[in-house]
Amino acid sequence: MKPTIGITCSVDEDSARLNDAYYRALEGAGAVPVLIPAYSDSENILELVGLLDGVLFSGGVDLDPHSYGEEPIKGLGQITPNRDEIEIKLCQQFFKLKKPIFGICRGIQLINVALGGSLYQDIYSQRQNVLKHSQDAPSYHPTHKIHLIENTFIHSVFQKSEILVNSFHHQAIKNLAPVLKATAHSEDNVIEAVENTDMDSFVLGVQWHPERMFQKYREQARLFEAFVERCASRKRGI
């Protein structure tokens, strides 16, 4: 049986939205994607965790800095506190049960916050000499390099120490969650990928958008294939 993988959605006052590239990438890798709205009843999260084999935290707007103990700064953008609350609980439950977790862009930031880390609310005002991380190029086009650390999962996926990625963010990981390790950086030392320090479970976060790249750049599809395989293995009890 194919693994069933939940994907979180962006929300506004009257709708839930998701770029179809996320579920196309998971479908192409052999999964059955299920969209997850920001439930008004957080108890539904406990029910949902038992039904899914893995979760993908998608991109979106900024995280509320109160979720990691900070007051907002001028550079903070739009936030969706209800989405933050639901996704933090969802991530913590998946982590507790050692079910596979994958985060993209906002998703890597959400994972880090849910597991005890913090963020730069705006890298352009809080860091010096940063690259352009909010590109104006086509969304599929890679615009800057990142360096992958050897002997890590992500290095094993790409089989190289340097790749080019796209970039659509102004927030980034500041203090890394204790259970995570940074496994890729851009040249300005922004964290571009994280993994779980415990090899018994699967946690992966990337700061770029592979779902916008995988159709044109085949190597990006390997991230989804590796994640789906982990979910399938978990479903089979391996």
- The whole-number pLDDT of residue 181 equals 98
Domain containing 127: what range? Answer: 4-236
3-state DSSP call for residue 32? strand
Question: Catalytic residues, which ones?
Answer: 105, 209, 211
Residue 27 sits in a domain whose CATH number is 3.40.50.880
In the chain, the number of structural domains is 1
The whole-model pTM stands at 0.96
Max Cα-Cα span within the chain? 49
DSSP 49-109: HHH-SEEEE---SBPPGGGGT----TT---B-HHHHHHHHHHHHHHHHHT--EEEETHHHH
Q: How does pLDDT run along the chain (238 residues), one tens digit per residue?
A: 899 999 999 987 777 889 999 999 999 999 999 999 888 777 788 888 999 999 999 999 999 999 999 999 999 999 999 999 999 999 999 999 999 999 999 999 999 999 999 999 999 999 999 999 999 999 999 999 999 999 999 999 999 999 999 999 999 999 999 999 999 999 999 999 999 998 788 999 999 999 999 999 999 999 999 999 999 988 877 6
